[in-house]
Amino acid sequence: LRAKLESLRAATPIPINTAAAVEVARLEGELKAGINSGQMQLYVQPIVDMRSHQIIGFESLVRWMHPITGLVRPDFFIPLAERSGLIVPLGRWVLREACHAALRFDREQNHAKMAGKSGFISVNVSAGQFHDPEFIPELASILRETKLNPERLQLEITESILSDTSAAKRWIAGCKKLGVRIALDDFGTGYSSLSYLHEFDIDTLKIDQSFVRRILEDKRSEKIIITIIQLSQALGLEIVAEGIETQPMFDRLAALGCHYGQGYLIARPSPIDAYFAAR
Ligand code: C2E
Ligand code: MG
Ligand code: MG
Ligand code: MG
């Protein structure tokens, strides 16, 4: 009997917090229903040329309009989507929606606050999408379907994806073959080595908000930003500073030679309609 009890104990899985597991499963179910029933919304935030102050493009940032809770931020549901695999259908929806948004900016340009000609739209891509073998074929069909000039689409990936060097190179090459641009998001927070950055066919570096936030108080953050700007110049990359909240931050970044910026000072993320409201 004792031996039997021992073997039973060994076979019993480690205790889990059942309440938490049930709650996560419930939320995943709600997220799935939300994706399928049109509760997702595409918000956009402008990216400006820091010298001319003109809008050159937008980053798309997804929101979940939950019928009871109201607006849910992606920091909450993107991890949930990643863990459940829902990131694949969600990401596909965002990509298609973003391409349509870019076309809409064209059509309604005369009414939009957007300056200049054809802006680009930047779309976040997370690890689950990177590992989805259907991602590149889907991207190709969305581009074909919408007839969007692929140069006007930018995909934002994070440094963590680059750790699998050969897979990342293949993936980036597949995207570049279709003509889209690649940005490294939250740059400086990952563990990727600067020395191998030149190996990847990347167009844009987005300086992480954590450095931008401290640029005026912390010499080290400022030095890191200066280094990233020099690096981008050496490698011929575009540079975008994220999270610009005040005019002094904007001015310092511009003085350091940062070309493009994004942040609450310029505009908060909002539904696309906000850019066509003035008529
Ligand atoms: P991210 O791609 O780094 O996006 C920038 C985040 O900073 C956004 O948060 C934006 O609203 C916020 N932000 C912009 N300017 C400022 C500022 O001046 N100050 C501060 N404090 N924050 C600012 P959001 O929209 O909550 O998105 C959070 C993250 O969720 C994004 O970080 C991105 O990693 C992820 N995400 C958002 N949309 C998508 C999506 O469609 N697909 C995927 N895979 N991830 C997404
Ligand atoms: Mg981003
Ligand atoms: Mg970022
Ligand atoms: Mg982020």
Residues of the chain with pLDDT > 90: what percent?
A: 75
* pLDDT at residue 109, rounded to an integer: 64
The pLDDT of 193-209, averaged and rounded, is 88
Is the minimum distance from the CB of 263 to ligand 1 under 6 angstroms? yes
pLDDT at 198 over 60: yes
Residues 6+ apart with CB under 8 A from 9: none
Q: Is the ipTM of this complex over 0.90?
A: yes
Is the minimum distance from the CB of 158 to ligand 1 under 6 angstroms? no
Is the minimum distance from the CB of 94 to ligand 1 under 6 angstroms? yes
Is the minimum distance from the CB of 232 to ligand 1 under 6 angstroms? no
Is the minimum distance from the CB of 203 to ligand 1 under 6 angstroms? no
CB atoms within 10 A of CB 147: 8
Residue nearest to atom 38 of ligand 1 (CA): 61
- Rounded distance, CA 193 to CA 179, Å? 26
Q: Say how many Å lie between the CA of residue 177 and the centre of ligand 4.
A: 26
Amino acid found at 155 = L
Q: What is the pLDDT of residues 69-117, one digit of tens each?
A: 999 999 999 999 999 999 999 999 999 999 999 998 877 765 445 555 5
First to last CA, the chain: 82
DSSP collapsed to 3 states, the chain? CHHHHHHHHHHCCCCCCHHHHHHHHHHHHHHHHHHHCCCEEEEEEEEEECCCCCEEEEEEEEEEEECCCEEECHHHHHHHHHHHCCHHHHHHHHHHHHHHHHHHHHHCCCCCCCCCCCCEEEEECCHHHHCCCCHHHHHHHHHHHHCCCHHHEEEEEEHHHHCCHHHHHHHHHHHHHHCCEEEEEEECCCCCCHHHHHHCCCCEEEECHHHHHCCCCCHHHHHHHHHHHHHHHHHCCEEEECCCCCHHHHHHHHHCCCCEECCCCCCCCEEHHHHHCCC
Residue 243's region, left for phi above 0, alpha for psi from -120 to 50, else beta, is left
Q: Say how many Å lie between the CA of residue 204 and the centre of ligand 2.
A: 12
pLDDT-derived band at 21, boundaries 50, 70, 90: confident
* pLDDT at residue 279, rounded to an integer: 44
pTM of the model: 0.91
CA nearest 239: which of 183, 196, 190?
A: 183
Is the minimum distance from the CB of 73 to ligand 1 under 6 angstroms? yes
Residues of the chain with pLDDT > 70: what percent?
A: 90
* pLDDT at residue 261, rounded to an integer: 98
The pLDDT of 248-253, averaged and rounded, is 98
The pLDDT of 147-164, averaged and rounded, is 93
* pLDDT at residue 2, rounded to an integer: 74
Q: Ligand 1 test: best mutation among 76, 94, 124, 135, most atoms within 8 Å of CB?
A: 124
Backbone angles phi, psi at 265, to 5 degrees: -60, -40
Among the residue ranges 118-122, 129-133, 201-205, 262-266, the one predicted with the least confidence is 118-122
